[in-house]
Amino acid sequence: MAVLLLRHVGHHCLRVHFSSQLCIRNWSLPMAMSICHRGTGMALSAGVSLFAMSALLLPGNFESYLELVKSLCLELALIHTAKFALMSPLMYHNWNGIRHLMWDLGKGLKIPQLYQSRVVVPVLTVLSSMGLVAI
């Protein structure tokens, strides 16, 4: 549904030039990283909120649910994959947030530094996620 809406807005923008912000012709990497940063922030906020609501509304306590997961006897690869899937958005949001804070300090705003940081953030995300999964 959202794709159809974006396609309609794009066609309309090409015919009637009413706003350059609504006409997205080429998705650049910084724009995609910004969208991912906002998306991971919303996902983390929703996850924390759902965890808190489940702690209030579900019967039992955290230890009983932890024992339930342990009783499933899941394979180690599946557990590590799930941990990595949970840690990746947190680490990406963390490293990209640090990148934005450095920009607020006026550091790393030159074009070569921007290109380096757009590679460093995903690399640090994967490495730190793998490190936390190994713990």
Q: What confidence score (pLDDT) does residue 20 get? A: 59
Q: Which of 122, 105, 94, 130 is nearest to 30 (CA)?
A: 122
pLDDT in tens, 34-49: 899 999 999 999 999 9
Supply the DSSP symbol for 20.
Answer: T
Q: What confidence score (pLDDT) does residue 1 get? A: 55
Q: Which of 67, 61, 126 is nearest to 92 (CA)?
A: 126
Q: What predicted TM-score, i.e. pTM, was given to this entire model?
A: 0.74
Which residue carries 């702690």 as its tokens?
Answer: 55
CA distance 59 to 128: 34
Question: Which residues in the chain come in under a pLDDT of 70?
Answer: 1-25
Give the angle subtended at the CA of 31 by the CAs of 132 and 86, to the nearest 5°: 20
CATH class label, 28-134? mainly alpha
Q: What confidence score (pLDDT) does residue 76 get? A: 92
Q: What confidence score (pLDDT) does residue 16 get? A: 53
Which residue carries 């990595």 as its tokens?
Answer: 84
Q: What confidence score (pLDDT) does residue 95 get? A: 96
Q: What confidence score (pLDDT) does residue 11 get? A: 56
In this structure, is the dihedral angle defined by the CA atoms of residues 45, 47, 48 and 54, taken in order, positive or negative?
positive
